[in-house]
Structure 1
């Protein structure tokens, strides 16, 4: 029955911790990739006003419908990355999932980008979770900045290999994400910020200045902008905290 490389969560303490992290006040909840329903069973017991499960595997969909009859009208057979979130009620929505490792970053980005995102509790590969939480330094990168600029991620619990069947080759970690008010005027402005951040880290052995120039940014504008926000031309992207990236973006978009 296992397909798509699933690792099914079987540890009841971890399951309970994840479900308890979903606010009792949440009205609209989406579970991504419910699998065999380890989380689903307890989530259904919380009687959310609107609950949706998005499952990619038709065998899992059938299994869930047979074991949880009340889920029949609430489960959508779809790859979440292809799922149109606008089909959901346009209301604040909380997301929960033992995320598939291979798509975890893309799923997180999609969820954080949705205007009605209201929070999440997600499981990641431990190293990826650490990158999401990282401040300026070795593990710090675009996923750190772009997650933290849109939400407040926090560690909930570490999860060992034995908590799954079959056990994965890596440790895991569950994070919670609290919604932040947007710092951007519109989606286009956020996308411009995201492009700047990704360009800054694209050439990791280069300085921030050189990496941005190699990505097509004007040398003179970048040099002046770095000086304006008190960053050295020798600074590397991993040394620049989120707040400084926001300052740099503000200077560049204003044309100083």
Structure 2
């Protein structure tokens, strides 16, 4: 649910609700999509009553558009943080005057980064879903009562992407199914993610640890290494 001038504004502005990415190096990335060009900011803090704002700057200018990615840095492991995103429609972006439209504020959510000393955690791993919605829904029924810390989509989930719209449609299903606005999600590229007309654009939907599709990260006292299939001339 979003707080807007009216329901029509909500449907017009929000395309993909916030989802958490790249919980590494004392930070986390909040991503979301809007259907119309907007400015985007994230309000966050250890108390819902006292939050600061963060936005993405590109060479000193505030980023805007339909794809939103804001990095929250300097977070303390083990602390619970609250956050919400605010999207403000840009009707006209002129050289000397900008016209703003409706705004949408997301529901207040929370997350916690692991302490380096933590030894116990629960991770949920999905792979080879191949955009089979009914299979995914059936699997999600088995984790409703599981208190998991993060989720891994381990390749061939958003497979053979032909367009931004197609990839986004299943991304929304995956995010909703696992509650990606409250637990971080790792989207790993499989051999089927490198096939299709939108395969090169797929990485814009995610924030990879270290900026690469291959990476490594720590969760508590455990080290994870992410390897990737190679792609030469469009073939794995």
In the superposition, the TM-score normalised over structure 2's length comes to 0.26
More helix by share: 1
Larger radius of gyration: 1
In the superposition, the TM-score normalised over structure 1's length comes to 0.25
